[in-house]
Chains A and B, each alone.
Chain A
Amino acid sequence: KQEVTQIPAALSVPEGENLVLNCSFTDSAIYNLQWFRQDPGKGLTSLLLIQSSQREQTSGRLNASLDKSSGRSTLYIAASQPGDSATYLCAVRIQGAQKLVFGQGTRLTINP
Chain B
Amino acid sequence: DARVTQTPRHKVTEMGQEVTMRCQPILGHNTVFWYRQTMMQGLELLAYFRNRAPLDDSGMPKDRFSAEMPDATLATLKIQPSEPRDSAVYFCASGLSGGDTEAFFGQGTRLTVV
- Are A34 and B100 interface neighbours, CB within 8 A? no
A103, closest chain B residue (CB): B42
Partner of B42, one of A31, A93, A104: A104
**In the assembled complex, which residues on chain B have CB atoms less than 8 Å from the CB atom of A31?**
99-100
- Are B56 and A93 interface neighbours, CB within 8 A? no
Number of interface residues of B (CB under 8 A): 23
State which of B14-22, B75-83, B101-109 sits at the interface with chain A.
B101-109
Partner of B105, one of A32, A36, A101: A36
- Are B33 and A100 interface neighbours, CB within 8 A? yes
- Are B103 and A100 interface neighbours, CB within 8 A? yes
Instruction: Find residues 49-88 in chain A having any chain B CB closer than 8 Å to their own CB.
Output: 49, 51-52
Given contacts A93-B99, A98-B97, contact A46 B42 (CB under 8 A): no
B residues near A, CB below 8 A? 31, 33, 35, 42-43, 45, 48, 50, 55-56, 91, 93, 97, 99-100, 102-108, 110
A residues near B, CB below 8 A? 31-32, 34, 36, 41-46, 49, 51-52, 89, 91, 93, 95, 97-105
Name 13 extra pairs, CB < 8 A, besides A46-B105, A49-B102, A95-B99: A32-B100, A42-B108, A43-B91, A43-B107, A43-B108, A44-B105, A52-B100, A93-B103, A99-B33, A100-B93, A101-B45, A102-B35, A102-B42
